[in-house]
Amino acid sequence: MTLDVNGQSEEVRTFGGTVGDVLDSRDLDIEKRDQIKPGVDKKISRDMTITVNTAKELSLSVDGKKSDEWTNANTVGQALADLGVDAKGADLSTEPNQKLKEEGNDIDVTTAKDLTIVADGKDHKVSAAAGTAKEALGETKLKLDKDDFLSVPLSSKVSDGQVLTVNRVKNDMVTEKEAIKAKVEKKKSDSLYQGETKVEAKGKDGQKEISYKVKTVNGEQVKKEKKDEKVLSEPKAKVIIEGTKTKEAPAKDPGGSDNGTGGSDDKSTGGSDKGDKSTGGGSDKGSGGSGSDDKSTGGGSGSSGGDMSTQEIKNMLGGPGSKWYQVAKCESNFNPRAVNQSNRAHFGLFQFKIATWQSMGGSGNPIDASPQEQFDRAKKLKAAAGWGQWACA
């Protein structure tokens, strides 16, 4: 009969009755993991072939994954096939037809893989037995510049179907111009009334040039670091003059002394008891005449300004609790025809200057307008410039 042990065949003669008798006659030490065909208890016959494949231990590494295995195969290729390792296109540490020993068999396998490497907006296909990202990249013509890097470390293991990305890095120096904001300086001056301002110097922003180190990855900015700065032009401060001068309050009694808004001896707003045609009319209807017994603005609650009584004016202003009431009382003592006797430049209930009155839409002199119109123009002035227009406020 023929005896095949691990691929080595020889012709043998025996008087035994079973396969086991044949093996014993050849001094073969059979282990549990050994493979025997047919079995040891099988009766033998003439021209029979007995096959013995002993168990062999091997250390296997597949794409870096290690394991200890047993096989009855006689070659590396057979062992990989028995263990289910696809060696087609793979990179082996030994030849596939290499005979296996009973022990001490080390086999490293790097299987073939299909990968995609994305670089510079294009896909680069790789089909190779690459174990690491570096090996996969080496299968292409792609190069990494000094600061470029892959989406995974070069030493990392790769798997079938994996996508790797080449990140292109650029470090550039760029310069940008930026404005230097001008400061605002404020000065006090008694040449202007409180609440009034004037621009003495318009000022001008300066300019500076700044150098940055800009890092981009695949064209996208990821870091911007300031490196240098130089001033191209210095800013010039804007200077604003703020008034500190206090407005003089008009006389509180338009019908009193000869310095008041409606004094008795001078040709005042309210006129004398002689009934002259002064700004405020005759004595019985004047705005502040001193010598008569009429109910004038300065002394009673009679008519004032010809079309509204003093009481009606007070009511229009909102009564004693109103700020307008307090302003009109201080400025003109509710006299719509009042004229400031010290400078003869402020007129009416709210002591408008002619220019200010006209800038608020009025015409002529405030004292010629109705109390209602004077009040309307005053509210318009307050909305535009605030209460600071009246010292009494």
Tokens at residue 388, please? 């600071």
Tell me what the mean pLDDT of segment 295-320 comes to: 66
Closest listed residue to residue 155, CA positions, set 130, 126, 132, 131 = 132
Model confidence at 252, pLDDT cuts 50, 70, 90, reads very low
Q: How far is 114 from 158, CA to CA, in rounded Å?
A: 10
Tokens at residue 362, please? 């009025």
Lowest mean pLDDT among 20-29, 223-232, 240-249, 368-377: 20-29
With the C-alpha atoms ordered 380, 383, 389, 392, is the resulting torsion angle positive or negative?
Answer: positive
Q: Which residue has the tokens 């008519």?
A: 303
Give the pLDDT score at 326: 94
Model confidence at 112, pLDDT cuts 50, 70, 90, reads confident
pLDDT in tens, 293-306: 333 333 333 333 44
Give the pLDDT score at 276: 33
- What's the Cα-to-Cα distance from 374 to each of 110, 136, 254, 335, 361, rounded to whole Å? 100, 91, 18, 11, 11
Closest listed residue to residue 358, CA positions, set 377, 375, 343 = 377
**Per-residue pLDDT for 271 more than 50?**
no
The pTM (predicted TM-score) of the whole model is 0.43
**Per-residue pLDDT for 359 more than 90?**
yes
Gyration radius from the chain CA atoms:
56
pLDDT in tens, 131-179: 899 989 998 999 999 999 999 999 999 988 999 999 999 999 999 999 9
Give the pLDDT score at 249: 58
Give the residue ranges of DSSP H helices in the chain: 19-25, 76-82, 133-138, 310-316, 323-332, 354-359, 371-385
Domains recognised in the chain with CATH numbers: 2-53 (3.10.20), 56-110 (3.10.20.30), 113-167 (3.10.20), 171-245 (2.20.230.10), 247-393 (1.10.530.10)
Tell me what the mean pLDDT of segment 39-63 comes to: 87
Q: How far is 225 from 178, CA to CA, in rounded Å?
A: 16
Task: Return the C-alpha torsion angle 373, 378, 379, 383, nearest 10.
Answer: 140
CB-side neighbour CA atoms (13 Å) of 116: 7
Give the pLDDT score at 205: 94
